[in-house]
A and B are shown apart, each in its own frame.
Chain A
Amino acid sequence: MSDLIAPIVSMGAIGAVLALILVIADRKLRVKEDQRVEKIQELLPGSNCGACGAPGCRQFAEQLVSGEQSPAGCMAGGPEVAKKIGSLLGVEVKVGLAQKARVLCLGGNLESQPRAQYEGVRDCQAVTLQSGGDKSCVYGCLGYGSCARACPFDAIEMTDNGLPFVDDFLCTGCEICVAACPRHLMAMKTEETKILVGCSSLEKGKAVKQVCARGCIACKLCVKVCPQDAIVMDGNLPVIDDKKCDDCGICVEKCPTDSLVENLSNQLNRVSEKKKAV
């Protein structure tokens, strides 16, 4: 019997003392929390992407509760999450169309040859520092995948052709890749944009033609063929008015270098079949 008493007393004493310390600590150190913060945090994507301006989802939830942010501020969650949060907080939410990342360059390894051989850190920012990169086109996608690594949702993958492919299902429109691209080639587009201009080169036609098979050569053919007069030239690149465009696809068909594409996920990375383009 005495064998039992010693362990029970000693362990009981240790347990009791520690419990007492924890109880006191809990009283002194308790953090008061709004119940809604926890609930909102569960609704949020939880990737801490920072697109809303807050450091993370938790802080965004706190700012929502204190009224500093609107539920639509969560880019990654999109309209659905915003509505749920809105109903939780009793706020009416106005949401726009979901935006998806788009790459404004179609010149991959097949279309645009490198002008130098690059050996070094496989990162677009680092490549740009080496006299503007190894790509012959100084406006084009470098293809080292900084956007793919930056994406918190793994929505971007580099294709064999050295261009980013955006998975619309995974892309939440958080705009992290937009900031990650040193050449500013990532842009957010909603489904209102029907045709994408797949070139960002500001050069004149001849200079573009020399470095890339799919670059816009500023021939203005699209401007002429558009039945809606939705296309105008801005410098050496066409600009399409989304409101006028009726998605007839004539410009995509007529573009000699195939640098206009339909804004559909499966069209963005297709390799050109036009003779002049490759």
Chain B
Amino acid sequence: MKLILIFISASLVNNFVFTYFLGICPFVGMSKRVETAISMGMATTFVMTLTGGITWLIETYILDYFGVAYLRYVAYIIVIASLVQFVEMYIRKTSPNLYQTLGIFLPLITTNCAVLGLALFAILRDYNFIESIAYGFGAGVGFTIAITIMAGIREELRFSDVPKAMQGPAITLMVAGLLALAFMGFSGFLTI
């Protein structure tokens, strides 16, 4: 039961993009088309889920064991960077087109603050191994939901008569703000 709560909390109630404002860079950069947005969301979800598990292992069996918790940030970034590298190789092998579309944003998952944020939050909240993975998966799904909604809106936005001064990033950020407001409707649903 707690796992489901953690999952829903991470994906909807405390959505990383809309309530913590983490991962805004790929959120704005990759949300031009629904298709690429979903692929980006999936890649990020994959990285986040693995990150949740592996950082927990590192935290418990290495950092805690040796008493070097102050190296947490460095260790996490190394793990995330390697994971992203691995995902990049995998995508390049299996789907060259997706590799082309994701372009620079694929290696940029490394510096997606949502991924690092997730690892740090999971430790702060004393989650165990399974819970960390659920939290990472939930956060990834939440990111996918956010970026897909945004891409859907932006696809329609192309055909609307936006005032010239607000075209491009301005209207995108306003839409993101309104979406964040809408997601506030979930707040208080559940507390963990």
Q: Which residues of A contact B (CB under 8 A)?
A: 6-7, 9-11, 13-15, 18-19, 21-22, 25-26, 29-31, 55-56, 58, 121-123, 126
B55-90 Cβ-contact flags toward A at 8 Å (1 or 0) = 000100011011110010011001100100110011
Partner of A18, one of B68, B79, B96: B79
Question: In whole Å, how far is A11's beta carbon from the nearest beta carbon of chain B?
Answer: 6
Count class of interface residues, chain B:
20 to 34
Partner of A14, one of B65, B75, B160: B75
In the complex with contacts A7-B71, A58-B100, A25-B79 CB distance below 8 A = no
Q: How far is the CA of A11 from the CA of B85 in the complex (A)?
A: 19
Q: How far is the CA of A204 from the CA of B66 in the complex (A)?
A: 91
Contact across chains for B74 and A25 when beta carbons are under 8 A apart: no
In the complex with contacts A121-B159, A122-B159, A31-B93 CB distance below 8 A = yes
Contact across chains for A14 and B66 when beta carbons are under 8 A apart: no
Q: How far is the CA of A126 from the CA of B85 in the complex (A)?
A: 44
Q: How far is the CA of A122 from the CA of B65 in the complex (A)?
A: 63
Contact across chains for A21 and B97 when beta carbons are under 8 A apart: no
Question: In whole Å, how far is B47's beta carbon from the nearest beta carbon of chain A?
Answer: 14
In the complex with contacts A7-B66, A14-B78, A14-B79, A31-B71 CB distance below 8 A = no
Q: Which residues of B contact A (CB under 8 A)?
A: 58, 62-63, 65-68, 71, 74-75, 78-79, 82, 85-86, 89-90, 92-93, 96-97, 100, 159-161
Contact across chains for B85 and A10 when beta carbons are under 8 A apart: no
Contact across chains for A11 and B159 when beta carbons are under 8 A apart: no
Question: In whole Å, how far is A153's beta carbon from the nearest beta carbon of chain B?
Answer: 18
Contacting residues, chain B, for A14 (C-beta < 8 A): 58, 62, 75, 78-79
Q: List 16 A-B contacts (CB under 8 A).
A: A6-B67, A6-B68, A7-B71, A9-B66, A10-B71, A14-B62, A14-B79, A18-B79, A18-B82, A25-B86, A29-B89, A29-B93, A58-B96, A121-B159, A122-B159, A126-B159
Complex: chain B residue closest to A62, CB-CB: B96
Complex: chain A residue closest to B158, CB-CB: A149
A19-B82, A21-B86 are known contacts; what are 20 more A-B pairs with Cβ within 8 Å?
A10-B75, A11-B71, A11-B74, A11-B78, A13-B62, A14-B79, A15-B78, A18-B78, A18-B79, A22-B82, A22-B85, A25-B86, A25-B90, A26-B89, A29-B89, A31-B93, A121-B159, A121-B160, A122-B161, A123-B159
Q: How far is the CA of A123 from the CA of B100 in the complex (A)?
A: 29
Contacting residues, chain A, for B90 (C-beta < 8 A): 25, 29
Contacting residues, chain A, for B160 (C-beta < 8 A): 121
Question: In whole Å, how far is A54's beta carbon from the nearest beta carbon of chain B?
Answer: 12
Contact across chains for B58 and A7 when beta carbons are under 8 A apart: no
Contacting residues, chain A, for B75 (C-beta < 8 A): 10-11, 14
Contacting residues, chain B, for A11 (C-beta < 8 A): 71, 74-75, 78
Question: In whole Å, how far is A198's beta carbon from the nearest beta carbon of chain B?
Answer: 29
Contacting residues, chain A, for B79 (C-beta < 8 A): 14, 18
Q: How far is the CA of A58 from the CA of B95 in the complex (A)?
A: 13
Contacting residues, chain A, for B159 (C-beta < 8 A): 121-123, 126
Contacting residues, chain A, for B74 (C-beta < 8 A): 11
Contact across chains for B86 and A22 when beta carbons are under 8 A apart: yes
Complex: chain B residue closest to A26, CB-CB: B89
Question: In whole Å, how far is A44's beta carbon from the nearest beta carbon of chain B?
Answer: 13
Question: In whole Å, how far is A25's beta carbon from the nearest beta carbon of chain B?
Answer: 5
Question: In whole Å, how far is B190's beta carbon from the nearest beta carbon of chain A?
Answer: 35
Contacting residues, chain B, for A18 (C-beta < 8 A): 78-79, 82
Q: How far is the CA of A31 from the CA of B62 in the complex (A)?
A: 34
Q: How far is the CA of A14 from the CA of B90 in the complex (A)?
A: 21
Q: How far is the CA of A150 from the CA of B93 in the complex (A)?
A: 31
